[in-house]
Structure formats: structure tokens, C-alpha cells
Amino acid sequence: MCTYPYEDLHDYIDGCLPADRINEIGEHISKCPDCRQYYHSQVLVSQYLKQEVSSSIDVRHAVMLRIDKERYPVKGNPSIMRAVGKCTVTFARPVVLMVSLAVLVLILSYFIRYDPFSKTANHWSQATSSAESEPAFSHDSEHFSFYSNEQNQQVFSELTALFEANYQRIARDLDTALPWKVTVKIWQDEKTFYDAIGRKSENKGVMSGRKGSAIHVLQPPGGAGGWEATLGAAELTHIMIAEINPLNNVLWVHDSIELYEAVRFDRETVTEGLADYVQRGDVPDLDKLMGHYEAVPFGEVILPTLPEFVLDTFGPEKLKGIIKDPMNPEKVLGLSLKDFSRSWLDYLEKSYQVRFIK
Amino acid sequence: MKVNDKALVRCILNGSPDAFTDLIQCYQKRLYSFLCKLTPCREDAEEMLQDVFIRVYRYLGKYDEARDFSTWIFKICVNVFKDYYRKQKKRPASCQAPYEEMAAIQDSPEISYEEKEDYLSVIRLINALKPDQKIAILLKQLHGLTYQEIAVILKISPANAKMKVSRARQFIGLELERQKRRRIG
């Protein structure tokens, strides 16, 4: 049995020896059968430990459902923090990526204005969390878990029908399904509801809100009935967009789909808005709409025609593609931005019976 | 601490829980590999992995930025692993899950019988190591941590950490030699 010190062999394995010692020990291993066998056993150990685990794993959903998302209250603007984080991540990569980053920044400045979630997140930070107590009764449907302080079966049934119908529509349009049940908390008391969604109670008329991945709704006085057909649709839309691409923070994508799915526009209003363009001899500008729609005439009115156009012309898969890759709608649709704009205007003319003076 | 870790931690602490999904994405594969080598039971490994991230989120406010984040998260992972089996009052080896790696080796026609036997013996010997020795050698050889980092994770001195890795290597090397001799003789 060779008496060569194990420590030297281990240092040789760890690669923490000067070059002359490495050569010396390497030479000894090549000549000594005992040490060669010992070294071989360590190679096998290394091989086994470094062997990749065959099954892949993703615990993001499971973990996010189990954590208290309000543990760390919002400080400053989360969208900016997030953007800083992302930029830092990108800068940490090799220099070769710097060129592509510069291009990305140009595109970002073109498309992004703010993180749609930051608006609500800042409101939520004002919430007095002490007011929110866990509702006592629950009811499960296929895609939702409802919670309420009242055991009112009619309310549960009505909301189940309403939410499931919205779910079917939005899931079909976005070509996606949530692998978990969405929590819906039903509040009877206005103050508690506003506290739960982090809004001030003077915001009368708000009947639903989102906090994290939970939807909160305010029960109309008198119990059941009186629900808006699109109750919770906007919140559900954002949850599904986040499910498809949690990093998507492009305003026009979020808001256009929210407006489209929440049916806050009607075709008559869109037609009126487009007629105004015709009267002024103007044409809707896709670039401006994607960049800063609130500054565009009738921007909020015509914005939902973008997902409508994509769905009618290309189908849900492409809309999902844009959510996944919001920086490259041209790539997703296989069109240049100019052709995208032209096709969209043609669609508006045909669909809304208007004729722009181009 | 890597720059991206630091940025993500700040985002989470500034009230952006969505940044936590990015953090999970960064570490879940490494931690899962680590846990799968620590325990042959995949279900246990997955459950522990979830517990690790839940604990990371809970204690993130107490994390000291001056310290290495990777070491901190592995420390939590090791604690979760130890607590898991302490609570269940069983040893990882008592879990009778199939050893996928062993099955893959046994089915491989291009490896000689002797090589297969050696490799399978090494897997068995690694799984027979004392928990701290196993953790130490995994952190050293799977994740390339320094003895200083292993010492922090196991709450021991760097010299002690080096000794644990050394003992684990010796146990495997000498035991494999003994088994080979028995096989031949």
C-alpha cells in the first residue's frame, strides 16, 4: 500500500497546487497503481456529483402561492427598481451583449412608458393591512377559490358563473390556462374592500381590484345580483399576462388587452373616434399609440383595436406571442412595423366602415 | 454576491414580489441538483426546494448584503435538509426511491462491467457518507465552493470543512478499493 499523503492527492484534485507540485504528483499517480486507483475513485465521485439531474424542475408557481407577497412593502417605484435590476443583470453579462443591449434600450425607450403594475402597487402600499381579515367562508369553482365573510350561496353561484365565463373568454383569446386557482375575496364592507386593494375609499365606483395574484370584489348592497358582466376581467387579464410572461411590463400590451377584454369600449365609440380622424384628415399613428397612447387623440378608445386586429387577423397564438416577446411584434407577426401599421389601418377601415385620407 | 443577485434582492425588499420568481429561476436548478444528490428521493427534494425558497423569502429582510448571497442560500438549503429529516425522524437513505442514475448506468451497453460496478459502488458509498461529510463534498465538488464558504454553511472552521471533505474522499477511495479486492478475490 502506497504511503503517499492523501492531502497531496486531494490538493491535486482541487487544483490548488503550484505547477511543479502538480507535475510531481501527476507523475507519481501515473506510476503508482494504488494512487492511480485512488485518483480514479475520485474521478468517479466527481463524475457522479456533476451528473445532471434528469428531471427538470420549476417551483416558481408553487412557491409564489405559498409566500406572503405583502411581506415587504413597496418603497419608491417598483417598476424603476425592477428596471434597474434588469439592467444590472444585463450589464453583468459579457461585453459582447452590450451592442444588443444598446439596441434593446432604444426599443425599450420607444415602447415602454411605465410598469402597469406599479400604479396599483403604489396604491396598495397605502393600504392599512390591519383592516383586512381573512374571510370565513369559501367556495371553489373550476378556476377560482372564492372567499367571503358571508355564507351566501347565491353570491358564490353568480360569481362562479360570471368569473368562469370571463375566464373562458380571456383564456381563449390569450391561448393560455392558469395551472392554479385564482383567489377571489368578496367584501361586503366598502372600507375593508378599499383597504384590501390599497385604494382610498373616495374612489367610489371601483368594484374590483387586484393585489398580487388575488382578485378582490365589492359585493353590491343587498347581497346577490347587480354584478357587472366584466367584474374582475381586467384583473384576470393581468394575471394571465403575468402567467405567460411575468417580465412583460410593456404598457400598450397590458392596457390594450385589458381594455379589450374588460369590454370598456364599444364599437360605436371606436367608430366615432375613427370618424374624428377622418374629419381632421388624419390617420391613427401606430408608433405613437404603442409609445404613449394617452397623448394620442382617442388613444384609449382605439387602443383595444390592436389586440382585436391581432386576434381577428392572426389568431390567439400570435397575441400570446406578442405578450411573450413584446419588444418584437414585427418578428412575432412576420411583418415590418410599417406593414403592421398598414394592415391595422386596412383592418380598421374594413371593420369600422371608415375611409382614412392617407 | 453577484450583481444580479444583489439587484434582485433589492427589488424584492422594495416591494416587488415578482422579482422573487427571477431569483427562484436563478437558483432552483442548482439547489435541486444539490438536494437530489443529498437525498435519493425526488419528491422529498422538491418539497425541500419549495421550503428553501419560502424560508429565503421570509428571512430576506435579515440578509446582510456584505455577505455572499450564494453561500447564504446554500446555508438555508442545508438547514432545510437537516430539519426535514429531523422532523420526519428518518435518514435520507431510508427513502426507497429509484436511483435513476444507477439504472441508467446499468442499462448502458458501452460501459464495461467493471466500470459499471465501480460507478455503482461510488454512488452507494456517497449515499452512505455521514450527512455533514456528504454536504461538504457536494459543496466542494458539485458547486466548487471554497473551504471558507463550506465552513460558513456548516458553521465550522475552514480547517474542519477541509477535513470533512478529505474524510469523505478517503472513505470512498479506500472502501472502493476494498470492494474491488473482494470482487476479484
Residues ≥6 apart with Cβ < 8 Å to A296:
A284, A285, A288, A289, A302
**Beta bridge partners of residue A183, listed in sequence order:** A145, A214
- φ and ψ at residue B56, rounded to 5 degrees: -60, -45
Least confident of A2-16, A118-132, A208-222: A118-132
What's the pLDDT at B95?
Answer: 46
Q: pLDDT class for B106, splitting at 50, 70, 90?
A: low
Question: Do the strands A208-211 and A144-148 form a parallel or antiparallel pair, or are they unpaired?
Answer: unpaired
Q: Residue range A55-63: average pLDDT?
A: 85
B104 interaction partners in chain A (CB closer than 8 Å): 54
| Cα B62 to Cα B82: distance, rounded to the nearest angstrom | 21
Q: DSSP letters along A14-77, please?
A: HT-S-HHHHHHHHHHHHH-HHHHHHHHHHHHHHHHHHSPPSS----HHHHHHHS-TTSS---S-
Cα pseudo-dihedral B156, B158, B162, B164, rounded to 10: 0
Asked if pLDDT for residue A219 goes beyond 90, the answer is no
**The pLDDT of residue A129:** 37
| More reliable by pLDDT, A106 or A230 | A230
> Looking at residue A82, what is its pLDDT?
46
The whole-angstrom distance between B9's CA and the closest CA on chain A is: 9
- Residue A346, all three cell numbers: 386596412
Percentage above 90 pLDDT, chain A: 24
Q: Could you tell me the pTM of the whole model?
A: 0.48
The owner of cell 378608445 is A301
Q: What is the DSSP string of A155-172?
A: HHHHHHHHHHHHHHHHHH
A residues 101..160 contacting B (CB < 8 A): 117, 121, 125
Among all residues of chain A, which has the CA nearest to that of B102? A48
pLDDT over 50 (residue B98): no
Partners of residue A209 on adjacent β-strands: A216
Instruction: Choose among B15, B25, B50: nearest Cβ to A121.
Output: B15
Subunit contact B46:A91, Cβ cutoff 8 A: no
pLDDT for A255 equals 85
pLDDT tens digits, one per residue of A96-109: 456 556 666 555 54
Is B122 within 8 Å of A247 when comparing Cβ atoms?
no
Average pLDDT, chain A: 78
Cell numbers linked to B20 = 422573487
Q: Residue A113: is its pLDDT beyond 50?
A: no
Q: What are the start-end ranges of the H helices in chain A?
A: 6-14, 19-31, 33-50, 60-66, 78-91, 97-111, 116-125, 153-173, 190-197, 233-244, 251-261, 267-280, 286-292, 299-302, 305-313, 316-324, 329-333, 337-352
- Among B3, B122, B166, B177, most A C-beta atoms within 10 A, so best to mutate, is B122
Question: What's the confidence (pLDDT) of residue A135?
Answer: 67
Asked if pLDDT for residue B136 goes beyond 70, the answer is: yes
pLDDT band at A119 (very low <50, low <70, confident <90, very high): very low
- Residue A146 pairs in a beta bridge with A139, A184
CB contact under 8 A, B54 and A67: yes
> Which chain A residues are Cβ-neighbours of B16 within 8 angstroms?
74, 78, 81-82, 121
Question: A54, B54: Cβ pair inside 8 Å?
Answer: no
How far is Cα B33 from Cα B20, in angstroms, rounded to an integer?
Answer: 20
Predicted local confidence at residue A173, as pLDDT: 94
pLDDT value at residue A194: 82
| pLDDT band, very low/low/confident/very high, at A195 (cuts 50, 70, 90) | confident
Do A35 and A27 touch, CB atoms closer than 8 A? Answer: no
Cross-chain CB nearest to A63 (options B16, B24, B174) = B24
- From chain A, pick out residues whose CB is under 8 angstroms from the CB of B180: 37
Between chains, do A66 and B54 touch, taking CB under 8 Å as contact? Answer: yes
Strand A144-148 to A182-187 pairing: parallel
Q: With a cut of 70, say whether residue A279 has pLDDT above it.
A: yes
Residue A41 binned pLDDT confidence (cut-offs 50, 70, 90): very high
pLDDT-based confidence at residue A127 (cuts at 50, 70, 90):
very low
- What pLDDT score does A39 carry? 92
Provide the grid cell at A179: 395551472
Chain B contact set for A121 (CB, 8 A): 15-16
pLDDT at B96 (0 to 100): 43
Q: Which of B53, B104, B138 sits opposite A63 (nearest CB)?
A: B53
Write out pLDDT tens, residues B34-76.
998 888 778 888 999 999 999 999 889 888 888 889 999 999 9
Give the residue with greater pLDDT, A84 vs B109: B109
Distance in Å, alpha carbon of B86 to nearest chain A alpha carbon: 22
A38: chain B residues, CB-CB within 8 Å = 173-174, 177
Chain B residues touching residue A52 (CB < 8 angstroms): 33
Q: What is the mean pLDDT of residues A51-75?
A: 80
Distance CA A108, CA A112 (A): 5
- When pLDDT is averaged across residues A40-53 and rounded to a whole number, the result is 87
Q: Is the pLDDT of residue B79 over 70?
A: yes
Q: How far is A30 from chain B (nearest CA, A)?
A: 17
Average pLDDT of chain B is 83
Q: What is the mean pLDDT of the segment spanning A219-243?
A: 82
Burial tier of A60 (Cβ tally within 10 Å: 0-12, 13-18, 19+): middle
Please give, rounded to a whole number of angstroms, the shortest distance from the CA of B17 to a CA of chain A: 6
pLDDT tens for A317-334 read 999 999 988 888 888 898
Which phi and psi (to 5°) does residue A215 adopt? -105, 135
Query: Nearest residue of A to residue B51 by CA position?
Result: A63
Mean pLDDT of the region A101-128: 42
Q: Are A268 and A313 in contact (CB under 8 A)?
A: no
- Confidence bin at B133 (pLDDT 50/70/90): very high
Is residue A148 predicted with pLDDT exceeding 80?
Answer: yes
Top pLDDT among A220 and B154 is at B154
Looking at CA atoms only, how far is residue B151 from chain A in angstroms? Answer: 16
The mean per-residue pLDDT over the stretch B2-13 comes to 80
Q: Comparing A36 with A66, which gets the higher pLDDT?
A: A36
ipTM of the complex: 0.86
Q: Report which of residues A41 and A262 the model is more confident about.
A: A41
> d(Cα A90, Cα A108) in Å, to the nearest integer?
14
B17: nearest CA partner in chain A = A69
The Cα–Cα gap between A300 and A272 comes to 13
Residue that the C-alpha cell 428521493 belongs to: B41
Q: Quick check: A100 contacting B, CB < 8 Å?
A: no
Cβ contact B14–A37 (<8 Å): no
Q: Is the pLDDT of residue B120 over 50?
A: yes
Contacts of B59 (CB under 8 A, 6+ apart): B76
- B137 and A49 in contact by Cβ < 8 A? yes
Q: DSSP label at A219?
A: P
State percent of chain A over pLDDT 70.
Answer: 78
